[in-house]
Amino acid sequence: MTAGAHKVVAIGEAMLEMAPVGQGLYRRGFAGDTFNTAWHMAQLLGRAASVGFATRVGQDSLSQGFLAELRADGLDVSGIGLDPLRSLGLYLIELEGVERRFHYWRSASAARALADDRAGLEAAVSGAALIHFSGITLAILSPGARQTLLSVLRAARAGGARISFDPNIRPRLWASPAESRAAMRDFLTVTDIALPSFDDEAALWGDATPAVTVERYRNFGIAEIVVKDGAKPVHAFADGAAQVLATPEVPDACDTSGAGDAFNAGYLAARLLRLGATLSLATGQALAAEVIRTYGARAEKARVAGLMPARIAGEGGLAPL
């Protein structure tokens, strides 16, 4: 990733999260795939970058609590619009061992209108060095709003932004596999960094191996690709070379929710600081492990902040941009 202004913006949906903590009890929090990535990046990067989140929320007390938490955690909320009629969606995590199943209530989510205000979206991403979005971002939008988002991303990219995309395919959010494939193809034309998960790619595209997934994304002209595969090795192509990195075991795992989002955050933050691909992959794995040790989709804040300095020191004291 080339140097640029230190502004990062993630676009997508945040929701109320009900995370199990044992004995039939749940902890209320806030989560959502691109939000999880933005929040973790903000904790990792600190003053090295401005990390913002672009979405819509309501004007109710829960939405205001969400905004207050983001401000307290150092995120830029200037790209978050307020909707007088809608609020945050809700999801509940059901665990089977450490693996999770999600139950969603999002039909009235304000985030579904995040691309309805083109000028607001353009302002949110203006001057960004890195813009991150996901397949869930696309799936909750109307076809017309998707085209607005595509146009805004294309213009931002032409202005020097790098675009990061996690396909994060959720079949229930799409009318058909054909619709999701068509949308993915459109947005791959503006993607610089692809961060897919192999199980999603195998289900939607029929990929036989992660290496096949890497090659398919390379055929779209994408120069930086990281294929996550749960506890199995990560397959990547970056800086002109392919590599495979084993994923360390997490013996004290309790909940895999948000692991891929955290991996994205660690990898992208390290690349923003010009670290090499191998160290960036390892940083993503380390942050994902922290999330897996925690109930819910976000790691403990105090434990996140210490990961990046240790990685930078391990690279030889590389200074932030």
Q: What is the pLDDT of residues 253-301, one digit of tens each?
A: 877 888 999 999 999 999 998 899 999 999 999 999 998 888 777 888 8
Distance of alpha carbon 224 from the chain centroid:
16
Amino acid at 301: K
pTM of the model as a whole: 0.91
| CATH code of residue 21 | 3.40.1190.20
Q: Considering the domain boundaries, does residue 219 fall inside one?
A: yes
Q: Which residues are catalytic?
A: 261
Assigned token pair, 112: 């579904």
CB 84 within 8 A of CB 114: no
Residue (of 155, 98, 139, 160) closest to 294 by Cα position: 98
Amino acid at 271: R
Residue 176: φ, ψ to 5°? -165, 160
Domain of 285, in residue numbers: 7-313
Q: What pLDDT does residue 97 have? A: 67
Sign of the dihedral defined by the CA atoms of residues 70, 75, 81, 86, in that order: negative
Q: Considering the domain boundaries, does residue 2 fall inside one?
A: no
Q: Considering the domain boundaries, does residue 321 fall inside one?
A: no
Element (H, E) at 40: helix 33-45
Give, for all 321 residues of the chain, the pLDDT tens digit.
Answer: 443 448 999 999 999 988 887 778 888 989 899 999 999 999 999 888 999 999 999 999 999 999 999 999 999 999 999 999 999 999 888 877 666 677 888 888 999 999 999 999 999 999 999 999 999 999 999 999 999 999 999 999 999 999 999 999 999 999 999 999 999 999 999 999 999 999 999 999 999 999 999 999 999 999 999 999 999 999 999 999 999 999 988 888 877 888 999 999 999 999 998 899 999 999 999 999 998 888 777 888 888 877 764 444 344 333 333
Q: Considering the domain boundaries, does residue 320 fall inside one?
A: no
Work out the number of other CB atoms within 10 angstroms of the CB of residue 72.
9
Q: Considering the domain boundaries, does residue 265 fall inside one?
A: yes
Q: Considering the domain boundaries, does residue 47 fall inside one?
A: yes
Q: What pLDDT does residue 299 have? A: 81
By residue count, the chain amounts to 321
What's the DSSP call for residue 268?
H
Rounded CA gap, 41 and 106, in Å?
25
Q: Considering the domain boundaries, does residue 294 fall inside one?
A: yes
Contacts for 313 with CB less than 8 Å, ≥ 6 apart:
none
Sheet bearing 99-105, strands edge to edge? 25-31, 15-22, 89-96, 99-105
Instruction: Identify the burial level of 241 via C-beta atoms within 10 angstroms of its C-beta, where 0-12 means exposed, 13-18 middle and 19 or more buried.
Output: exposed
* Domains identified in the chain, total number: 1
153: helix, strand or coil: helix
Residue 320: φ, ψ to 5°? -60, 160
Rounded CA gap, 189 and 294, in Å?
36
